[in-house]
Chain A
Amino acid sequence: MSQEEAEKLLQNTKEQTRTNTEPTTSDDPSSLEDAIKDAYVAIDEGDANTNITVRDTNLAALFGGLEGADELERVARDAEKALGRDAENVSQSRTLGLLARIGLQEISPETLEVAAEARDEYIVNSQDDF
């Protein structure tokens, strides 16, 4: 099986051309991880905000309506369940954060993995500071 796989890899090599391969650039995992770590540092030092702004009339109306109709908690609990998180205080801000994570998990799970690694490494490096 290994030899068969090796033969296949060998034959694939000669089919790679300059036009069907491309060097990766700044969206490779290591540079995203570094960028996220840099962002943690900036937040820590007060150079960046912990808020994320979304300017969207329809979403603003939706969340205003969810709160007005006492339905925000339902959405928040469903989101917590989807992410396997414990129930916490319900707010528009926290609910939006949960929903953003669900969206990323759906369309780009590897991005969340990189973010988690960046966070872990940032925490470890921070603890080295005297």
Chain B
Amino acid sequence: MASVPRNQILRAATYVQKGGVGKTTTTAHVGVAAARDHDLDVVLVDLAGTQNDLSTHFGIGEDIEDLDAPISAVFGDDWEFIRDNIDDIVDRMVFETDEGVDIIPADPGLGGADNNLANIPVEERFDKLDAFIEDDLADRYDLVLLDLPGAENNIALNGLFAAGNVIAPLKPGAFESEQLDNLQADLDRIRDEHPVDPQLAMVIPTMIDLRTNLAEQFVTELAEEHPETSAPAHVADSQAVSNWQERGRTLFGVPDDELSNTGTRVLESYRENTSELIPRLS
């Protein structure tokens, strides 16, 4: 069991400037693993656009259709006034799931919030989310996972500043051979150009079919060349993930007798990776 001192919250963000690699799937499964296996109070914050994939993953897509208290408010000039004058504002932002984690969903205002952040002096632009986590989430939760947009915008930079730790799912493919180098170059450049300091906590090979040479090579090279950040377990390519996603569940929410062999392997990978990840976040 992990132990987190009161009012200190572990933080990480899934971030890589590429779509379809499993950022949302990773956020969801690491979050549930942390809650179930390590008894942590976990909140997932969806900042990855306005499609609300994370909420859909947990089957609460319909519950959040007309949001009462959008997360985008945190990034605006009026946030302190709103927070000081609405007592239960954070309660209204948070949605419970039946898999042991809470979610703060994305909302349509994130696009406008990203634009408005550009009007703020750079020295104040990237700490909005950090302040929200520190002031409003740290006393409620042990772990916050941020699902970030796959683009380097002001929302993503807020997320990187707030989280500090980056989880990067990467999958093998024709154009992916340099992607880890590209990711590290992206993080280096972000550090150089902005007052944020993201550190790569874990790279997780995803959608791995070891029957292909490309995948096998990818996993091997990652482990050999980046042992300090490579996840202990790759995540297999399994149709089970998307099948159950459509039904509003992570694989943790599937009864054992209904889970396929590959689905079971995916589950075990996420559990092993989460156990390795949590100490790295302290």
A interface with B by C-beta (< 8 Å): 2-3, 5-7, 9-10, 13-24, 28
Contact = CB atoms under 8 A, between A and B. Distances in A.
Contacts of B72: 13-14, 16
Interface stretch (B111-119, B178-186, B194-202, B243-251): B111-119
Contact of B69 (A10, A15, A21): A10
Given A9-B78, A10-B73, A21 B85 contact: no
Contacts of A24: 119
B119 A13 contact: no
B86 interface: yes
B131 interface: no
A36 B80 CA distance: 33
Contacts of A2: 81, 85
A9 B112 contact: no
A121 to B, nearest CB: 18
B79 to A, nearest CB: 9
Contacts, number: 70
B119 A28 contact: yes
Contacts of B107: 14
A3 B86 contact: yes
Interface residues of B, number: 24
Interface of B: 67, 69-70, 72-73, 76, 78, 81-82, 84-86, 89, 107-109, 111-116, 118-119
Given A14-B107, A17-B112, A23-B115, A6 B67 contact: no
Given A5-B85, A18-B112, 14 more contacts: A7-B86, A9-B76, A10-B69, A10-B86, A13-B70, A13-B72, A13-B113, A14-B73, A14-B108, A16-B72, A16-B111, A16-B115, A18-B114, A23-B115
Nearest to B85: A6
Contact of B115 (A3, A6, A14, A21): A21
Nearest to A1: B85
Contacts of B76: 9, 13
Contacts of B84: 6
Given A6-B81, A6-B85, A9-B81, A16 B113 contact: yes
Contact of A9 (B82, B114, B115, B118): B82
A18 B115 contact: yes
A39 B86 CA distance: 47
Nearest to A9: B78
Contact of A14 (B109, B116, B118, B119): B109
B126 to A, nearest CB: 15
A7 B92 CA distance: 12
Contacts of A16: 72, 109, 111-113, 115-116
B111 A18 contact: yes
A17 B85 contact: no
A22 B85 contact: no
Contact of B118 (A5, A7, A15, A23): A23
B81 A17 contact: no
B82 A20 contact: no
